[in-house]
Every structure is written in C-alpha cells, then in structure tokens.
C-alpha cells in the first residue's frame, strides 16, 4: 500500500509541477525553443531545477540498493554516447519543437482535453511501437 501512496504523491507533485511551470502549454514550450525570435527563457529555470533535483536524487540513489518502498533497484551503468543515443535525442528534440510537448506533459494535457494532445499522444504511441518493432530487427 505504501508503494501506491508514494507513486500517487510523486505523480501529483510531478503533474502540479508541470502545470505550474507551463510545460503543458505548447505555446510556452515553443517560445522557449524559439531562440531567434521571441525567446521565453523561463523554462530554463524549470530545466535547471529538474537537473538539480535529479543530480541530488541520483547521488543519493547510488548509495542504496532498495527504494523507499523496499523494492530493489539499480541504476543502469550505461555511459556510452553513440549514434543511436544522439539520433534519438535529435528526434526527441525535433518532435518537442514541432509539437511543444514531451511525453509527461502531453499525457497531462491529454487529460485536460487539449486538442493538440489528442493528436500528439496517439502519434507518440505509434512512434514507440515503431521503435520496438524496428529495434527487434
């Protein structure tokens, strides 16, 4: 039961953070990515905050073998930066720039009924299925 409560609280905090930061608003995200136009740097603070929290969380997690709920976990040891990683990052970035969504905020926007999310999320899922299909080959 504790596991589900922690998941619920974590999801709520994450979702509220996305809403408060404007990450569910494609216009705000596109404004951040428009470096040569009307650039909106406010999401840089969101990213900086997320990176800071992530660095601290991973540093603490490296010292543990189990999560707070007692579930075993390990941090993947992969550190290789290869063509697949770079190509994936580029595709993610282009998709983010075109749509103004990344997966988490898109799901949250979908639940609020935002029409663009109703187009983005199914296409994102198709892309995930295509990846899995071609990765097996």
- The whole-model pTM stands at 0.72
Number of separate domains in the chain: 1
| Cα distance between residue 17 and residue 24, in whole Å | 10
**pLDDT the model gives residue 69:** 81
Domain of residue 72: give its range.
Answer: 2-135
Tokens of 84: 């697949």
Q: What is the DSSP letter of 66?
A: B
Predicted local confidence at residue 47, as pLDDT: 87
The tens-digit pLDDT sequence of the chain (137 residues) is 788 898 899 889 988 988 888 888 888 888 888 888 888 888 888 889 999 999 999 899 888 888 888 888 888 888 899 998 999 899 888 888 888 888 888 988 888 888 989 999 999 999 999 989 988 88
- H or E element at residue 61: helix 42-61
Nearest to 119 by CA among 46, 12, 26: 26
């Amino acid at each position: 039961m504790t596991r589900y409560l922690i998941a619920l609280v974590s999801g709520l905090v994450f979702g509220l953070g996305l809403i408060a930061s404007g990450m569910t608003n494609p216009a705000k995200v596109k404004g951040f990515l428009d470096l040569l136009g009307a650039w909106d740097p406010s999401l840089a603070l969101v990213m900086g905050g997320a990176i800071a929290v992530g660095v601290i969380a991973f540093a603490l997690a490296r010292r543990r073998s189990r999560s707070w709920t007692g579930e075993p976990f390990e941090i993947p040891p992969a550190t290789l930066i290869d063509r697949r990683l770079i190509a994936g990052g580029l595709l993610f970035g282009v998709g983010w720039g075109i749509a103004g969504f990344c997966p988490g905020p898109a799901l949250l926007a979908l639940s609020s009924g935002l029409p663009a999310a109703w187009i983005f999320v199914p296409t994102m899922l198709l892309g995930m299925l295509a990846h899995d299909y071609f990765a097996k080959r």
